[in-house]
Structure 1
Amino acid sequence: MPSGRLPVVNPWRFETNQATVQIKVGTYYSQVWTRAINAWNSKKVFTFKIVKGPAQITILPAQSNEASLIKQNFVGVAYVNHDNTKRITSVQLHLVNSLLKSNGYTTSQRVNVAEHELGHAMGLAHNPSKQSVMYKTTRYVSIQPIDVKNAKDLYSIPASQYFINLPATTSTTANKDVIANGAGDRLFKSPFETRSVQALVDPSTIY
């Protein structure tokens, strides 16, 4: 990894710096997500490829737990599933339209939130700097050079050095314990598969 400041990343990533994306939302949010995807792709550190069928990353419409997300003031959420070798196995992304609308988010601000969730999808963590798209309450900031550097650093490590050399095992039936991990994050842990639920909180609820 390049020397200097450590990247703000999670301990998991995709095998390579690319992933397929299926967009399963309506026209307006399809445009929002496409703009966010194009913004990341233009940085040339990670490639999101939009496909029509099943994909590694799925962008979802309204969720069954929508009321819970609204109660917690989550305007965006990333469900990142990863196995015991540190490989991301699948990701589900969602923007909470009712909160974005009620809090007056412009289209550009919604794109910023989508960029944030895509950052989680590739393996980036919350950045303590407010001048980062990965700040925990991003609204006004888009992808910054520090975000590009963190993604580049994460994927500059060869797969042979990054991943744990274990048989990849996953389980969807094991009991999961909920562990708080800072504002807006919840980690769901099982012996073989971990699901990280990383959510973006609307800043108006904090300041």
Structure 2
Amino acid sequence: MRILVIEDDEEMAETVAVGLRRARMAVDVALDGSSGLERAMINDYDVIVLDRDLPGLHGDDVCAELVAAGRGSRVLMLTAAATSDDLVDGLNLGADDYLPKPFDFPVLMARIGALARRAHPAVPPVLRHGDIELNVAQRRARRGGRTLDLAPKEFGVLELLLAANGRAVSAEELLERVWDESADPFTKTVKVTISRLRAKLGDPPVVETVAKSGYRI
């Protein structure tokens, strides 16, 4: 899952990003509305966590631009104002959910998970292929009853391959969906992660390399 956090409070933005990364999500951070909107227009995010009260380009304007552009990302708006009018205004702008500050991190996680499920309703909470079982909600992976100790990127790659249901997924798509914007597209990052994932999955091999197409399970 790939998340964009647009929050001008650098400490809060970093705290949220660290927590989401610990939950095996790929996270990009923007500290103002303009750079956040630019990232959101270029990259495909499952959920955008958007502070409403941004300096410069206001969060309302960012949300309106995203809706007008038809971006498929779900928007979770954060604000220090928690009146009913504020809630209605945010939702009327096109935000998918609204969370007053301060908030408990588990609540934020639950809201993001709910929005991601709405963005991708076809993906079940537990993905299976043969004796492989991936519990997306609990972030746990097993094969043949054996728990797999997967790094966050390995988990993300496995999730994407299983969700593709036999379709070959290109290295470019894996890099876009699993890594954040700091990933170098000219490195062997994906190939190395695939190699480690194969080793942890063990035999018989299930991750297949498809010439000129990518990888599939």
* TM-score of the aligned structures, taking structure 2 as reference length: 0.30
Which structure has the greater CA radius of gyration?
Answer: 2
* TM-score of the aligned structures, taking structure 1 as reference length: 0.31
